[in-house]
Amino acid sequence: MQKNELVTVTIEDIGINGEGIGKVDGYTLFIKDAIIGDVVEAKVMKAKKNYGYARLMNILTPSPYRVKQPKCPMARKCGGCQIQEMEYDRQLAFKEDKIRGNLMRIGEVPAEVLDQAMEPIVGMDNPFHYRNKAQFPIGTDKEGHIITGFYAGRTHSIIPNTDCALGVEVNEIILKQILAFMEEYKISAYDETEHKGLVRHVLIRYGFVTKEIMVCLVINGNHLPHGDILAERLAKIEGMTSITLSINKEKTNVIMGSQIEPLWGKTYITDYIGNIKYQISPLSFYQVNPVQTEKLYGLALEYAGLTGKETVWDLYCGIGTISLFLAQKAKEVYGVEIVPQAIEDARNNAKINGIENARFYVGKAEEVLPEYYAQYEKEHGKKAHADVIVVDPPRKGCEESLLQTMVDMEPDRIVYVSCDSATLARDVKFLREKGYELARGRGVDQFGHTVHVECVVLMSRVEK
């Protein structure tokens, strides 16, 4: 296969990044935006020995799984969605297969166990407009107009678009007002390469339950000229609750600056997941799809099987979302999280909900838990025990030393919430070798039109 060669390919598979995969005379090609079942014409862009990457040029025969028209005209260019052109049901099937495939290959879980344990993936009722948070970069186009939109895949060039199909509809109204204000008062947009200009990003958050709106402008300076006029205009939007500035003068890819200055209203909004109330400030971590999060954490709670007598650990607890869910049904909950600000939020969230049986520790789970375990043994002359341990680690999963301490605490149940089924599968393999069996499991789609998928599994201790 040669670079620039034009080939006709039938797409037979889908890669982990959502790309179509097909073969030409035994040579594998990866083709972005091609869908299983498509017959496409593609141009080879990069040819390695056994495989290559090609660009989709023409769809000769569309796949039955292809939507007639993607909702967003920018779907292909934008780095946000990878599989928006695929029918939603098929997206769900792809995600379900991905989880099962990883558990089988990496986790070495036998098919019979998976058949018994795995339940159908939980999809969204409406896979659009589900995100409660968006961060829009602000820039200038070639004609000097202020623009906002999204970064094109793997770059930092802005594709103008104020109407993202995954975000809430009020985003567009807010962004248009900000752009008009900037043009009117000659407020400059930040230029990343020159490290000049003022407005870098706009963060918008929306409380799905409370309908409260937060706007935070990230600026490369201490002050937004005529900020009071912008605030006055934005405040007229129904639901506007918090308008702030985030000061970020660093030459960095990190979006938010650590200093928050109030411009109008409160410095936080309030929202609910289930019956638990959360205060969310511009810097707080908060799940971006609250509707599906409630379903995911509802499952975690169900798998935890609490009766009110249990001691529960919630590792990687963030702002305590799962911990507070569990605390209502357990004797006591211990949360562990590495980010101090998140733990502050977790404690505050416990307080505003009147939850008194949750305790939070700042630190690495793989340090806090083993230290607690060793200390407990020293003080009490016996092993620390947990009835249930919940983990919700970032993509890299859990360290083996942590898994070992968890096993040492002999919980009846380990509930593992994961955003990467490959590392989940690796950790499931370890736990299966240490006397735990995969008893239940289920994917929950939190990020429709992207290739990401969350899942939760229950590992039950096998009676000895």
Cα-trace Rg, the chain? 24
The arrangement of strands across the sheet holding 259-265 comes to 158-160, 146-151, 133-140, 199-206, 213-219, 240-247, 259-265
**Could you tell me the smallest distance in angstroms from the CB atom of residue 191 to ligand SAH?**
31
Whose Cβ is closer to ligand SAH: residue 65's or residue 313's? Answer: 313
CB proximity list for 117: less than 8 A, separation 6 or greater:
438, 439, 440, 441, 457, 458
- The residue nearest ligand SAH at its CB is 318
Nearest CA to 420 out of 456, 453, 459, 458 is that of: 453
* Count of helices and strands (H, E) across the chain: 10, 22
Q: Judge whether 430 and 414 are in contact, CB under 8 Å.
A: no
- Residue 81 appears among annotated catalytic residues: no
For the bound state, the minimum distance from the C-beta of residue 207 to ligand SAH, rounded and expressed in Å, comes to 16
Instruction: Please identify, using beta-carbon distances, which residue of 55 and 364 lies nearer to ligand SAH.
Output: 364
Nearer to ligand SAH, 148 or 292 (CB): 292
> 3-state SS of 132-175?
CEEEEEEEECCCCCEEEEEEECCCCCEEECCCCCCCCCHHHHHH
Shortest CB 240 distance to ligand SAH, Å: 25
SS3 391: strand
Q: Given 78, 317, 419, 455, which residue is catalytic?
A: 419
Tell me the three state secondary structure of residue 55.
strand
CB of 433 to ligand SAH, least distance (A): 22
Q: Which of residues 19 and 337 has its CB atom nearest to ligand SAH in the complex? A: 337
Q: Which is nearer to ligand SAH, 139 or 397 (CB)?
A: 397
| Shortest Å, Cβ 255 to ligand SAH | 16
314: helix, strand or coil? strand
Distance, in Å, from the CA atom of 418 to the CA atom of 400, rounded to the nearest integer, reads 16
Nearest to 209 by CA among 269, 296, 295: 269
- Least separation in angstroms between residue 285's CB and ligand SAH is 5
**C-alpha to C-alpha distance for 349 and 284, rounded to whole angstroms:** 12
* Closer residue to ligand SAH in complex, CB, 366/387: 366
Query: In whole angstroms, what is the distance from residue 173 CA to residue 121 CA?
Result: 34
Containing 24, the helix (H) or strand (E) segment is: strand 20-24
* Nearest alpha-carbon partner for 462 in 438, 428, 429: 438
Q: Which C-beta is closer to ligand SAH: that of 241 or that of 446? A: 446
Write out the residues near ligand SAH by the rule CB under 6 A: 285, 287, 316-319, 321-322, 336-339, 342, 364-366, 392-394
The number of CA neighbours under 13 Å toward the Cβ of 6 is 4
Helix (H, G, I), strand (E, B) or coil at 203: strand
Q: Which is nearer to ligand SAH, 162 or 349 (CB)?
A: 349
Residue 75 CB, shortest distance to ligand SAH, in Å, is 27
Task: Write the DSSP symbol of residue 285.
Answer: -
Helix ranges (H only) for 331-459 are 340-352, 365-380, 400-408, 421-433
Smallest separation (angstroms) from ligand SAH to the CB of 142? 39
Q: What positions carry a catalytic annotation?
A: 419
